[in-house]
Structure 1
Amino acid sequence: MLNHPGTSPRILITGFGPFPGAPVNPTQALVRKLATLRRPAFADTPRIPHIFDVTYATVDRELPELIARHHPDALLMFGLAARTPYIRVETRARNAVSMLWPDAGHTTVRRASIVPGADAQMFGPHTARLFRAALASGADVRSSRDAGRYLCNYLSWRSIEATRVHGGPRLAAFVHVPLLAQDTASRRMTSDELTDTGEAILLEMIRMTRVTLRDAARSSRV
């Protein structure tokens, strides 16, 4: 069943498992933490955690299943950008996929686009608010127009498609995170710092989803 406008928004929070070149993916722990944080602001907000295997087939199979089962009002997705030392709030999904890098299931795609002839898809203006919320946490955060050509971009594309289907989630967002510090001498972001920023993003996502649901309810009464 669909979430009734005015009730607490349901948020699907996702990350990825390890993949070739990244035996440890920090989004796994981040998603678990965000789904179990005990805060008054989260008390009436169902948070559904999920970790995708890093394969195209998994995304195509499990994303629709998760939406059908949980009826989330918003999708908040995290992925690893191992070569980037800061957090990236993605603003769009490119119609591009790597033909060079196989996924974790050793599958290599045979075409360079997701949908032949289609333009890039934008997440929407809410990404600017997520960016500001993340920035306010004190982390090094950048807005990004390039989610790459791998599974992060592919999931971004499929999630935006899902928001355009009747009864689908209202909002979707994708955030790239860096590799984390393994010791106190490292200049990399720590796990606690990443959790703090992830929490700030999640809180803003919940707030915006509530507003979106309320506006939809008002429009339906006009």
Structure 2
Amino acid sequence: MSKGLRILITGFGPFPGAPFNPTPPLVERLAKLRRPALSDVTITTHIFDVAYATVDLELPQLLATHRPHALLMFGLAARTPWLRIETRARNAITTIWPDRRGARVRKGSIAGTANARAFGPHVFRLLRAARLTGIDARASRDAGSYVCNYLCWRAIEAADHQTGPRLAAFIHVPPLRRDGSARVPGGMTLEHLADAGEAILLELVKELRRA
């Protein structure tokens, strides 16, 4: 797989408790990258509303329309000051917090199968690429129980299908101010996230070329 690569990069909009989500400007920055390693890569982007029904409706449509070889997803972890590379999706969904559309689920699991589903060993190479930019990045085994984790689960499901993306990854980013500056002194900025996001994207392209 060396020519005509297609990558779908996604983010999320605001949600209750987080009126500003930094993932849309991050996704926009990554989509505008011009690098030799990306010369044969078609990047498409999408911003999900933070709603379970939106994920269920739009993710299959995006995969069918763009047929990406890889899916790179970003979400906001409002209480985490570092970059989180998710290694798996949990078969868990909150029954307490409604999504942005007010939907509240009544069952605490996504599917009647395994307790978790793993993205695969490639995520640790993405983690290493992010760390080489100097950012504080860590592997995470808990993507929460909200819409981010739900998207993780659905993405891994899609990647398990023969016609789905070959690779998928989900990155949780810390909160930023609206101007892209750090929320705390010495904290991460949009520039930091863009540098790490670029490194992750380029490593993902390498992984696809090895496939």
| TM-score, structure 2 as length reference | 0.95
Give the alignment partner of residue 95 of structure 1, picking from 79, 88, 91.
91
Distance apart, 1:165 and its partner CA:
1.0
Partner of 2:28 in structure 1?
A: 32
Distance apart, 1:119 and its partner CA:
2.2
Unpaired segments ≥5 residues, structure 1: 213-222
Distance apart, 1:8 and its partner CA:
2.7
Structure 1 residue matching 2:197: 3-state secondary structure: helix
In the alignment, does 2:160 pair up with 1:161?
no
How far apart are the structure 1 equivalents of 2:68 and 2:31? 14
How far apart are the structure 1 equivalents of 2:97 and 2:79? 16
Give the alignment partner of residue 12 of structure 1, picking from 8, 16, 34.
8
Partner of 1:106 in structure 2?
A: 102
Give the alignment partner of residue 119 of structure 1, picking from 107, 115, 121.
115
How far apart are the structure 1 equivalents of 2:3 and 2:34? 19
How far apart are the structure 2 equivalents of 1:186 and 1:48? 34
Unpaired segments ≥5 residues, structure 2: none
Cα pair 1:13 1:31 within 8 Å, conserved: yes
Partner of 2:140 in structure 1?
A: 144
Q: Which amino acid aligns with 2:54?
A: T
Partner of 2:38 in structure 1?
A: 42
Partner of 1:215 in structure 2?
A: none
| Alignment RMSD | 1.3
Paired residue total? 208
Structure 2 residue matching 1:10: 3-state secondary structure: strand
Distance apart, 1:134 and its partner CA:
0.5
Deviates more, 1:6-15 or 1:16-25: 6-15
Structure 1 residue matching 2:109: 3-state secondary structure: coil
In the alignment, does 2:208 pair up with 1:209?
yes
Structure 2 residue matching 1:20: 3-state secondary structure: coil
Structure 2 residue matching 1:202: 3-state secondary structure: helix
How far apart are the structure 1 equivalents of 2:136 and 2:163? 35
Q: Which amino acid aligns with 1:205?
A: L
Give the alignment partner of residue 177 of structure 1, picking from 162, 173, 179.
173
Partner of 2:185 in structure 1?
A: 186
Structure 2 residue matching 1:32: 3-state secondary structure: helix
| TM-score, structure 1 as length reference | 0.91
Q: Which amino acid aligns with 1:186?
A: P
Structure 1 residue matching 2:80: 3-state secondary structure: coil
Distance apart, 1:117 and its partner CA:
4.2
Cα pair 1:179 1:188 within 8 Å, conserved: no
Output one character per residue of 1:154-176: Cα deviation in whole Å (capped at 9) or x when no partner: 00000000011121100000000
Output one character per residue of 1:26-61: Cα deviation in whole Å (capped at 9) or x when no partner: 001000110111222222110111100000000000
Q: Which amino acid aligns with 2:198?
A: E
Partner of 1:199 in structure 2?
A: 198
How far apart are the structure 2 equivalents of 1:211 and 1:36? 24
Structure 2 residue matching 1:79: 3-state secondary structure: strand
